[in-house]
Structures are given as structure tokens and as C-alpha cells.
């Protein structure tokens, strides 16, 4: 069954999320704090497909939970819940490894649609790992292992989130090709994604910090002004 961890300290919002995700067919485990979320994660052996994390919580906040979950599990899908005025929180969450964010207040249909889209990506990634038709892709000094979702640069491992891996796989499959932001968004997040295109830019920034020798002067992930990005290795 589709299993999801929901961490939200406000009971009314947590109940709203749990009820609607349960109706949508998810097995929901709820937590009222960051500490409880990490405890529930361990109690269930990390067996979650997706986690929904509120940012503003007393004690361990959503950012810390996100960072810890991502450290433990590179394949779990993570959605951050943010207030409309917390623009920087969206960027911070994505930089820490979140896959998406949902802005409060949100409707049941928007929430379920975003969770469904992320869950599909998680399942697709798992299927690709199980049915790896090609072990790896090579590009210059880089090797992308499709079986264990790992990126190597000159033999050195670079850890990737699920979204980062999918972006790199798209780049490796289209070397030297200028890829439109919309194309990247559709390929990675799906054609039913209803969020903002800047989620692509934030993930590119995060990838540059991992793969570039000088992230401020990138030579592998090149900006194509007015269009998007291309991979040049």
C-alpha cells in the first residue's frame, strides 16, 4: 500500500491532510512534531514512499527533519508545507533536498494531486532500479549509475536526491542539447504538475553545488538564456 508520513504540529491541518490522503488510498502515519516524525520513521523501518513536512514547528523544524530524512533515504519523496509569505522557505527546503512544496492554504484536490505526482515519480524510479535496462550512462568525467542512482565524478561518489538524479539522467540522455525549463519540468515532475517553474532553477543551483568545480562559474550545467539549460561534459 502507498505509505506516507505526515508531520504537522497544527492538529486541524494535520487532520485535514490525513483524512484527504486516506480517502485517496494512502496508508498515513501522522506525527505532531519533528521529533515524533523521526521516531515514527525509525519505528516503521523507513518504509515510506513520501513524507509531508510542515516547516514551522517547535523543537526540530521541518528543515531539520527534511535534511535527516534525505540523509537516511535518498529515494523518499519529500513535500514541504509553507505559508504564502515564506518565499525563502520554499527555496531553503528545496536546497535541503525536498522535492516539492505546497503553499497554505491548499485545497484537498491540490494536495492529493501533488502527492500523487510525487508518488508516481518515486515508484517509477524504483521500477527503473529493478528493471535497469542499461547499467550506466557516461559523459566526460562523469558516470551515472542507473541501477543504484549514483553519480560518479572521476570515480568519486556524488550523492543525489531523486529529483536531482532524474534531472541528471535527462541531461545525460541529451548531451549538448538546450533543454527548455518547461521540458525539464514535464520530464521530472510530470505534465500534471501545478507548481512554479522556478523549482527547476533551485534544483539546478543545488546540482551545480555538487558537480561543478566552481558553482558560480559553471562549465558542465550551462545556462541557455531565455530557454533553460544544457549539459556539456
Stretch 185-189: mean pLDDT = 86
Higher pLDDT, 132 or 214: 214
Report the distance separating Cα 230 and Cα 75, nearest Å: 25
Can you tell me the mean pLDDT for 189-200? 80
Cα separation, 104 vs 52, in Å, equals: 13
Q: Averaged over 126-153, what is the pLDDT?
A: 78
Query: Residue 87: is its pLDDT beyond 80?
Result: no
Distance CA 223, CA 229 (A): 5
Q: Structural domains in the chain?
A: 3-127 (3.40.50.2300), 133-231 (1.10.10.10)
Name every residue whose Cβ is closer than 8 Å to that of residue 90 and which is 6 or more positions away in sequence.
80, 82, 101, 103, 202
Comparing 80-89, 115-124, 150-159, which segment has the lowest mean pLDDT?
Answer: 80-89
Instruction: Output the pLDDT for position 117.
Output: 85
Mean pLDDT calculated for residue range 26-36: 96
Residue 129 CA to residue 39 CA, distance in Å, equals 28
Q: For the segment 71-80, what is each residue's pLDDT rounded down to a tens digit?
A: 888 889 999 9
C-alpha span between 81 and 85 (Å, rounded): 12
Most confident among 120-134, 179-193, 219-233 (mean pLDDT): 219-233
Q: What sections of the chain are H helices per DSSP? A: 11-23, 34-43, 62-72, 87-95, 108-130, 162-173, 181-189, 198-211
- Predicted confidence band of residue 27 (pLDDT cuts 50, 70, 90): very high
Question: Which one, of 49, 67, 56, 74, lies nearest residue 165 by Cα?
Answer: 74
Q: Averaged over 185-208, what is the pLDDT?
A: 86
Share of the chain above pLDDT 70, in %: 95
pLDDT above 90: percentage of residues in the chain: 59
DSSP string for 48-75: -SEEEEES--SSS-HHHHHHHHHHH-TT
Q: Are strands 50-54 and 3-7 parallel, antiparallel or unpaired?
A: parallel
Dihedral pair phi/psi, residue 221, rounded to 5°:
-100, 100
Q: Is the pLDDT of residue 138 over 80?
A: yes
- In this structure, the number of other CB atoms found within 10 A of the CB of residue 162 comes to 24
pLDDT of residue 129: 61
> Which residues are bridge partners to 137 per DSSP?
144
| Lookup result for grid cell 532553477 | 201
Q: Tell me, what's the pLDDT at 64?
A: 95
Mean pLDDT of 157-162: 87
Amino acid at each position: 500500500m502507498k505509505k506516507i508520513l505526515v508531520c504537522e504540529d497544527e492538529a486541524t491541518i494535520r487532520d485535514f491532510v490525513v483524512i484527504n490522503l486516506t480517502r485517496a488510498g494512502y496508508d498515513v502515519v501522522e506525527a505532531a512534531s519533528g521529533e515524533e516524525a523521526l521516531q515514527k520513521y525509525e519505528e516503521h523501518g523507513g518504509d515510506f514512499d513520501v513524507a509531508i513536512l510542515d516547516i514551522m514547528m517547535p523543537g526540530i523544524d521541518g528543515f531539520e527533519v527534511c535534511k535527516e530524512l534525505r540523509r537516511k533515504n535518498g529515494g523518499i519523496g519529500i513535500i514541504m508545507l509553507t505559508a504564502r509569505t515564506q518565499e525563502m522557505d520554499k527555496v531553503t527546503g528545496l536546497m535541503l533536498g525536498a522535492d516539492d512544496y505546497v503553499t497554505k492554504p491548499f485545497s484537498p484536490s491540490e494536495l492529493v494531486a501533488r502527492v500523487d505526482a510525487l508518488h508516481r515519480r518515486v515508484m517509477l524510479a524504483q521500477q527503473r532500479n529493478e528493471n535497469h535496462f542499461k547499467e550506466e550512462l557516461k559523459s566526460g568525467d562523469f558516470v551515472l549509475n542507473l541501477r543504484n542512482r549514483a553519480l560518479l565524478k572521476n570515480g568519486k561518489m556524488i550523492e543525489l536526491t531523486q529529483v536531482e538524479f532524474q534531472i541528471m539522467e535527462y541531461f545525460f540522455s541529451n548531451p549538448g542539447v538546450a533543454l527548455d525549463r518547461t521540458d525539464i519540468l514535464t520530464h521530472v515532475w510530470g505534465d500534471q504538475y501545478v507548481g512554479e517553474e522556478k523549482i527547476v532553477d533551485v534544483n539546478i543551483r543545488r546540482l551545480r553545488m555538487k558537480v561543478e568545480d566552481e558553482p558560480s562559474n559553471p562549465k558542465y550545467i550551462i545556462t541557455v538564456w531565455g530557454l533553460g539549460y544544457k549539459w556539456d561534459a
